[in-house]
């Protein structure tokens, strides 16, 4: 597997990058390699993808869930690192705008030690009320004709009020011209919400929703912008027998924020 050509995924907006063994890689043709994280985190994520994409277990809830997450192809070892080969959600986007939103006020496992809980609670206090936080985003600035990155360190300074315009408003700037994208994003979020209100199989802790759209419109071939919404990051997915109220609350609050950007 050492001969795969790869480069760091240019549209990566959050996660454990910086360290070479933790970088998400773009291997072209619409595929990425996401490194499996250490210990149980990596095993849990690979198990989750294998369960959802198991062709011998195609129940209706899993088939629906498949449409909300990147396609999982395989796990493989390259340069001594275990990777998951996944669909690249930003593939072929010319001016990709990407936002990673970590869902849930509770972002620690049920058996987490007190110091981990305290660290997580302090990270972005408004998330205890709004049930999510921005982990990073990138936009395409038409005035400077360049990409701008906003890391988590920037997003952690938002308040629950400033988040609307400085976070979501900046991501969908100018909001008046992005109404179609915001409405498609909302309809996809409603589909995910509907699935969550019916499922009692998984509990998604510290998992993200990735909002993606292409700022570029090809006027000859496309009438509207490419736009996608996917759930990602399953390092803390656990079995359960009850509704994932932690996730549902964050998702509903996210829907509430985006609804405020829609002009009636
Ligand atoms: N399937 C995908 N297609 C395109 N981009 C992706 C995909 N999966 C992940 N990314 C990019 O990589 C980033 C990190 O992904 P992810 O959150 O899964 O990594 P992580 O290292 O497990 O994160 P954390 O450190 O928060 O647990 C995302 O913010 C996104 O920009
Ligand atoms: O994005 P940041 O600010 O780097 O924060 C990290 C991020 O939230 C990881 O998801 C989390 O790992 P887990 O929740 O998977 O443990 C890690 O916890 P950690 O510091 O306890 O490793 C945090 O430090």
Convert the pLDDT of each residue in 110-147 to its tens digit.
Answer: 999 999 999 999 999 999 999 999 999 999 999 999 99
Q: Which atom of ligand 2 is nearest to the CA of 14?
A: 1
pLDDT at 92: 93
Q: 216-252 burial, b for 16+ CB within 10 Å, e for fewer?
A: beeeeeeeebbbbbbbbbbbbbeeeeeebebbbbbbe
User: CA-CA distances (angstroms) from residue 247 to 17, 120, 155?
Assistant: 25, 16, 20
Q: Which protein residue's CA is at the shortest distance from atom 8 of ligand 1?
A: 232
Kindly give the pairing relationship between strand 72-78 and strand 81-87. Answer: antiparallel
Q: How confident is the model at residue 86 (pLDDT cuts 50, 70, 90)?
A: very high
Q: How much is the average pLDDT of 14-31?
A: 84
* DSSP bridge pairs for 246: none
Q: How much is the average pLDDT of 232-258?
A: 98
Output the CA 94–ligand 2 centroid distance in Å: 31
In the three-class reduction of DSSP (H, G, I as helix; E, B as strand; rest coil), residue 174 is classed as: coil
pLDDT above 60 (res 67):
yes
Convert the pLDDT of each residue in 206-242 to its tens digit.
Answer: 999 999 999 999 877 666 789 999 999 999 999 999 9
- Supply the ipTM of this predicted assembly: 0.94
Which domains, and CATH codes, for the chain?
7-87 (3.30.200), 96-262 (3.30.470.160)
Q: How much is the average pLDDT of 51-68?
A: 95
Q: Which ligand is nearest to the Cα of residue 205, counting in written order? A: 2
Ligand 2, CB cutoff 6 Å, lining residues: 41, 116, 152, 206, 235
pLDDT at 175: 96
Q: How confident is the model at residue 22 (pLDDT cuts 50, 70, 90)?
A: confident
pLDDT at 264: 57
């Amino acid at each position: 597997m050492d001969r795969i050509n790869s480069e760091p995924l240019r549209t990566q907006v959050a996660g454990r990058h910086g360290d070479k063994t933790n970088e998400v890689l773009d291997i072209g043709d619409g595929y990425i390699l996401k490194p499996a994280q250490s210990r149980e985190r990596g095993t849990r994520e690979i198990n989750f993808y294998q369960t959802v994409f198991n062709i011998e277990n195609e129940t209706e809830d899993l088939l629906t869930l498949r449409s909300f997450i990147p396609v999982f192809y395989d796990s493989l070892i390259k340069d001594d690192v275990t990777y998951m080969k996944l669909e690249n959600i930003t593939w072929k986007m010319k001016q990709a705008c990407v936002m990673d939103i970590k869902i849930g006020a509770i972002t620690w496992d049920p058996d987490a030690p007190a110091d981990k809980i305290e660290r997580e609670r302090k990270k972005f206090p408004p998330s205890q009320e709004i049930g999510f936080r921005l982990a990073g985003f990138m936009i395409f600035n038409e005035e400077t004709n360049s990409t701008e990155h906003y890391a988590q360190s920037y997003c952690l300074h938002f308040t629950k009020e400033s988040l609307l315009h400085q976070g979501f408003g900046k991501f969908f700037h100018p909001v008046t011209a992005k109404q179609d994208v915001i409405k498609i994003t909302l309809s996809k979020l409603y589909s995910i919400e509907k699935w969550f209100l019916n499922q009692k199989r998984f509990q998604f802790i510290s998992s993200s929703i990735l909002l993606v759209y292409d700022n570029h419109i090809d006027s000859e071939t496309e009438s509207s912008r490419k736009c996608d919404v996917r759930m990602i990051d399953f390092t803390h997915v656990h079995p359960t027998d009850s509704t994932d109220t932690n996730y549902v609350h964050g998702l509903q609050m996210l829907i509430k924020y985006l609804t405020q950007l829609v002009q009636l």
